[in-house]
Amino acid sequence: MSVNRTAVRRMFVLTLVVGAVACGLLALQAGDDEARAETAAPLATPVWSPRRVPQPIVDAVGAVKLQVALDEVSGGVSACALVTDGNGDTVLAAHSPETPLIAASTVKVLTGVAALATLGPDHVFETAVVAPGGVQDGTVNGLWLVGSGDPIMATPDYASYLTLDPFTRTDPTTSFPALAQAIVDAGVQRVAGGITGDDSRYDDERYIPTWSPSYAEEGHVGPIGALTVNDGFASFPPPEVVPDPAVHAATVLTELLRDRGVVVEEGPQRGGAPADAQAVASISSLPLRDIVSIMIRGSDNLTAEMLTREIGLQVSGEGTTAAGTQAIITKLAELGVPTEGVALVDGSGLDRADVVPCHALLGALDLDEHPELQAVWDGLPVAGGESGTLSERLEGTPLEGNLRAKTGSLNGVTGLTGVIDMGGRPVRFAFLANDSFDEAGGVSLRERAATIISRFPEAPPADALVPGPDG
């Protein structure tokens, strides 16, 4: 639904109509009051008091003012915006809401919804260790570490590193050392051979071909794979990506076992587990609801990409990005989200070919009546919050603690979608803008838009909206 100047005029006319109806009702009330004047006590509030101005008049005027301000902040850039009431039922203002724009990390809202709807909020990723013939007198004939797509497996040093980043400082992880200890507890004392990493669950395309090389070079995302430890980083900081996440995981497990006195006779490698291998140990991730919240709060790119491939595997049997993005769009449409104009190359929003209209972003957030999807809302970063992409933004402003929204940033791209509650009158919104601004300029732009939205239903004084009978 596109709202332009014509729509603004229509809303102004609506305001006048509502005002006229209200004035008529007040006139009728005045007649009734006169008829009862001889027997009734005097009115505590005069008929024409501003206190009698109906709230719909205030809201309608506030909506017109919001529309004009949103059009102004969106002027000069390619932008879309959509603002609704707290229930998502009433459109308060809109600016080209059906126009697809580069969406950056706001795409993760769509990925999170589709993951929860496809896999279920209680889904866990179980990373298994298997061996042919099992454990015999403390010895195994090699170990295979089989990846299941757990995106948050980490060693203690990497978990500590995450606490240094305001985006991730409260993020839990799946303890990789706990898996090593489970192998020891299973009686393994010697590995006759080495440890083989098996990440055959997904394909082995580590990066989307159209991504900027800087994403890997600067540590924005590690290599994608079904078996990943420490986000695929060999060292940190600065993060240094590994060439093969499965071999890296096998290497880390080898070191952890040797630290626990297990003899591992050969070096790590990669390959598929034998069909007749027996379970030795395993470790399960947190439930998917927690993983999705982590992804949304800190805008974790690798988690989004791994979830995308898992969605593809569950829906079509193909653990590929292409299968996953198609399944995401299909699932959103099944849930009633307007998907016309949505195009996804990945699940994280890193690709500049990911385009989404504002009404699709808000449509996804409006699914909060489904309890199984609540984790998306739970993960929305809070302005000035403890952690997340808004944790150090808007501190000391009225939006601190009152804005919860998913952010999106690339050069020339900015986005924000979520909810603002300034005390009893929450509003939902989506805002995207594309232009030649840098990342800092984009952040400033979206925060100006959020500030404007937070002022609804700002309107002139009530006595200016409904003047007294003497004018």
What is the average per-residue pLDDT within 415-441? 95
Pairwise CA distance, residues 333 & 253, whole Å: 42
Please say if the pLDDT value at position 235 is more than 50: yes
pLDDT value of residue 425:
87
pLDDT value of residue 61:
87
Please say if the pLDDT value at position 86 is more than 80: yes
Pairwise CA distance, residues 74 & 66, whole Å: 12
> Would strands 403-410 and 277-284 be described as parallel, antiparallel, or unpaired?
unpaired
Please say if the pLDDT value at position 20 is more than 50: no
Query: In this structure, are residues 103 and 8 in contact, taking their beta carbons and an 8 Å threshold?
Result: no
pLDDT value of residue 17:
43
Q: Return the biggest CA–CA distance within the chain.
A: 105
Band (5; pLDDT cuts 50, 70, 90)? very low
Band (310; pLDDT cuts 50, 70, 90)? very high
Pick the CATH number of 60-118+291-454 from 3.40.50.11310, 3.40.50.150, 3.90.1150.10, 3.40.710.10: 3.40.710.10
Pairwise CA distance, residues 69 & 93, whole Å: 10
Please say if the pLDDT value at position 47 is more than 80: no
pLDDT value of residue 461:
57
Pairwise CA distance, residues 364 & 191, whole Å: 49
Average pLDDT, the chain: 89
358-378 pLDDT per residue, tens: 999 999 999 999 999 999 999
3-state secondary structure the chain: CCCCHHHHHHHHHHHHHHHHHHHHHHHHHHHHHHHCCCCCCCCCCCCCCHHHCCHHHHHHHHHHHHHHHHHHHHCCCEEEEEEEECCCCCEEEEECCCCCEECHHHHHHHHHHHHHHHHCCCCCCEEEEEEECCCECCEECCEEEECCCCCCEECHHHHHHHCCCCCCCCCCCEEHHHHHHHHHHCCCCEECCCEEEECCCCCCCCCCCCCCCHHHHCCCCCCCCCCCCHHHEEECCCCEECCCHHHHHHHHHHHHHHHCCCEECCCCEECCCCCCEEEEEEEECCCHHHHHHHHHHHCCHHHHHHHHHHHHHHHHCCCCHHHHHHHHHHHHHHCCCCCCCCECCCCCCCCCCCEECHHHHHHHHHHHHCHHHHHHHHHCCECCCCCCCCCCCCCCCCCCCCEEEEEEEECCEEEEEEEECCCCCCEEEEEEEECCCCHHHHHHHHHHHHHHHHCCCCCCCHHHHCCCCCC
Q: At what angle do helices 321-334 and 358-365 cross, to 10 degrees?
A: 70
Q: What is the pTM of this model?
A: 0.88
What is the average per-residue pLDDT within 114-138? 98
Q: What is the CATH number of domain 124-286?
A: 3.50.80.20
* CA angle at 421 for the pair 451 and 372, rounded to the nearest 5°: 120
Please say if the pLDDT value at position 14 is more than 70: no
Structural domain boundaries of the chain? 60-118+291-454, 124-286
Which residues are paired to 468 by β-bridges? none
Please say if the pLDDT value at position 262 is more than 90: yes
Please say if the pLDDT value at position 128 is more than 80: yes
